[in-house]
Structure 1
Amino acid sequence: MTTNKLKALELFAGIGGFRLGMVNANIQTVWANDINELCCKVYESNFGKDSIVLGDINEIPILDIPNHDILTAGFPCQPFSPAGKKLGVRDIVRGTLFERIIEILDQKQPKYFFLENVKRLLTMENGSHFRLILNALSELDYFIEWRIISPLSFGIPQNRDRVFIFGTKLNSTDITPNTLEKLSVFLTKEDNILLPNIEVPLVKYMFPIMTTKRKNDNWGIAYKNQMFTQNLSLLPEIKPRKKLQDILQDESIVDIQFDFTIDTLERIKQSKPVNRYCNGVEILYNQDGGARLGYTIFGTNGIASTLTASTSRHYERYQVGDKFRRLTNIEYARLMGFPDDWCQVAKIYDQYALFGNAIVPACVEWVCKRIGQRNFELSKSGWQQLSLAI
């Protein structure tokens, strides 16, 4: 399939991370929405006037939403009803923003959906939260696949694992290994030998979504209330890996407002050298008795810690040469894979939260370019090797 014929919908659009990734994959976004006025201002500054609808998605009639081929959303994570199994799946998610996604999918029937959320979604409430989401989506006759993806695979030096969920409309009584070959957007050639026996229909290895006690691994599939999940290796490097120091601005042009040198030197007197790496992040000092990240001083020889929307995190101190400073708004843009000037219509301080809430466009682009392609083939010899290992 050529993706340039696909038309996309972007819900909870933020500053347009999904759209930028889809633009790079030749997918046209026909409608977007967000409730945040500043997000919409940034969105319009990059995609044009009236490119996004400002407002509460629950108050926008679905009839006003145009037909589309792919629904995208970095949806907010909200708790579901504690009534659990006493209610139907649609009742359990009622009153959440996720329910609105279900309603739009149900009425508009797009061929695909593409969702993003924090990695913790897989383990919330011992995994039951994610399984409720899978079950609700699978009842709409979508073949669902998910995988944890890191921007590290795309040359972006940030510790930011996210779970991406992709659905393809499928009307079938069963799924076979051939189905997986045709529909998977997340599997690569390196993953071929990590699945069940190639000679057996996949349904044999699947189990009921709502009654299983298994944990949700970093990759999996679901269809018609059944699921299969397994841990895979990290994605191969799509682009060469970088360190934080590789994307920093030239120190000669970094404004003094980002500098914390004097204050940090005082903190170091009360701190102990650490000089270690945690999840790829270089940690130089940590103040005695201070567990909060605000007391930690980072280096630039590793990757950046996860960017967040929390204002307290904007003042993390990094040692850059002989200075101690926070990262600039432009460096935040680079750590998310956006152009330097993407949020220039917003105040510098506000840009941190905007980027911290965003989606990495490079991850979106990679997935969207794989839609409709046969991205991998199952190797019989590989299956036999796995069978012997089992």
Structure 2
Amino acid sequence: MVFNFAGWRCATSCDIVHLIQQDIVMDQTASPFKFIDLFAGIGGLRRGFDVIGGECVFTCEMNKFSQETYRANFGEEHEIAGDITLVDAADIPAHDLLLAGFPCQPFSLAGVSKKNSLGRAHGFADETQGTLFFDVVRILRHHKPRAFLLENVKNLLSHDKGNTMRVILHALDELGYEVDFRVIDARSWVPQHRERIFIAGFRRDHKTTFSFNDVIIPDGPNPTLASILHPENGSEAADERYTVGKKAKVHERYTLTDGLWSYLQRYAAKHKAAGNGFGFGLVTPDKVARTLSARYHKDGSEILVAQRGKNPRRLTPRECARLMGFDRPGTNDPWKIPVSDTQAYRQFGNAVAAPVSVAIAEAMSPWLTNMVALRSRRERLG
């Protein structure tokens, strides 16, 4: 079986050609693995591990709107827990893999700047978010899963002059995990610069040779925004929520008002005169977007699509789903967006780019199933 995942070809245990290329032979005894999805958001990390045959046995996500989107797309397989600090580790089912996109605001450039301006703590000193990493540690210590994968913003590496990252790596090392990490830009899969740090670990008593060097990053050609924008030429069926008419034109409500467009231009000019790089990001279909953020719902300034003869427009939530790799034009099973535009923008801005998760999952998959054992058996038999 081969999954067509948002336009990226992702192999499963039955894709013999792919496995032979990796010098791995599978049989029908392939072992499934169980995983948990913490700080799940709308399931960006999960997407990759579903593709390689994992079974999600526990989900935790505090935001009720993200829970709604998660359920709409993954079903009602189990109850979604809310506040992780109120969850006893013993009540979490046994699992082989822990996934956690623990909150990034205490470490992000924008988050740190905002907290500094307000005189508030950030990083691990932020008691409401920063210390949630230690809930990950608490669960790892109790269950000792075979592996974990964590995700955060790139700024985690430099936060507090590198001390935050040292604390994280030391804590994971003390738990008995061999750890590797890498900053990966989703640009190779989607038309967006989106650098995120991924931290993976395997228990030392579960010997592997995994490293992020195993993650296959496409050589190109890299996609442009044309691959995710509504074509507006009638080749795409109209979606009454985002597009209208026979040509499925983007709804006028996504075009900036004269007042907002004037404000953004004045704001950009002011900061340019001051020597700052702040301003809006105006793009055309042949370009690549800036990083989509959770604040996109406010004014859309980081990604504005140029329009001939009128003000630029925001991306629609459907285009954001495609920009994050959850969806692609023409799919028969589009990503479900049951929430308001405001909530959808927040969710996609906070999400993990799905095809990056798929690539990492494929690199980790030999060590999460019995593929390694089968390969070793074949080598012993000559």
Query: Is the TM value for this pair above 0.5?
Result: yes
Query: 2:97 aligns to what?
Result: 70
Query: 1:143 aligns to what?
Result: 178
Return the offset for 1:369. Answer: 1.3
Return the offset for 1:349. Answer: 2.1
Return the offset for 1:299. Answer: 3.5
**Structure 1 gaps, min length 5:** 83-91, 173-178, 190-234, 272-285, 375-390
Give the distance between the partners of 1:6 and 1:240, measured in 2 at CA: 34
Q: Matches of residues 166-245 of structure 1 in structure 2 within 5 Å?
A: 166-171=200-205, 182-188=208-214, 236-237=217-218, 240-245=221-226
Kindly provide the CA deviation profile for residues 327-363 of structure 1, in whole angstroms up to 9, marking residues without a partner as x. Answer: 1111111110012643421012221001001111211
Does the C-alpha gap of structure 1 residues 39 and 289 become closer, same or farther in structure 2, counting only changes over 3 Å? closer
8 Å Cα contact 2:271/2:277 also seen in 1: no
Return the offset for 1:50. Answer: 4.8
Give 1:363's match in structure 2, choosing from 356, 366, 377.
Answer: 356
Q: Write the letter of the residue equivalent to 1:259.
A: T
Give the distance between the partners of 1:94 and 1:364, measured in 2 at CA: 23
8 Å Cα contact 1:314/1:352 also seen in 2: no
Give the distance between the partners of 1:315 and 1:102, measured in 2 at CA: 37
Give 1:319's match in structure 2, choosing from 306, 309, 316.
Answer: 306
Q: Write the letter of the residue equivalent to 1:186.
A: F
Give the distance between the partners of 1:242 and 1:113, measured in 2 at CA: 30
Return the offset for 1:141. Answer: 0.7
- TM-score, normalising length: structure 1: 0.68
Give 2:199's match in structure 1, choosing from 148, 162, 165.
Answer: 165
Whether 1:339 and 2:327 are equivalent positions in the alignment is yes
Q: Percent identity among equivalent residues?
A: 33
8 Å Cα contact 1:168/1:183 also seen in 2: no
Kindly provide the CA deviation profile for residues 265-294 of structure 1, in whole angstroms up to 9, marking residues without a partner as x. Answer: 7579869xxxxxxxxxxxxxx535455755
Secondary structure of 1:187's aligned partner: helix
Query: 2:124 aligns to what?
Result: 80
Kindly provide the CA deviation profile for residues 354-387 of structure 1, in whole angstroms up to 9, marking residues without a partner as x. Answer: 100111121111111122549xxxxxxxxxxxxx
Q: Write the letter of the residue equivalent to 2:354.
A: P
8 Å Cα contact 1:33/1:53 also seen in 2: yes
**Structure 2 gaps, min length 5:** 1-23, 107-122, 233-247, 329-333, 368-382
Q: Write the letter of the residue equivalent to 1:121.
A: L
Q: Matches of residues 244-263 of structure 1 in structure 2 within 5 Å?
A: 244-251=225-232, 252-260=248-256, 262=258
Kindly provide the CA deviation profile for residues 232-282 of structure 1, in whole angstroms up to 9, marking residues without a partner as x. Answer: xxx7426641111222112342111111275577579869xxxxxxxxxxx
- TM-score, normalising length: structure 2: 0.70
8 Å Cα contact 2:125/2:131 also seen in 1: no
Whether 1:287 and 2:274 are equivalent positions in the alignment is no
8 Å Cα contact 1:32/1:53 also seen in 2: yes
Secondary structure of 1:365's aligned partner: helix
Q: Matches of residues 114-129 of structure 1 in structure 2 within 5 Å?
A: 114-129=149-164
Kindly provide the CA deviation profile for residues 209-229 of structure 1, in whole angstroms up to 9, marking residues without a partner as x. Answer: xxxxxxxxxxxxxxxxxxxxx
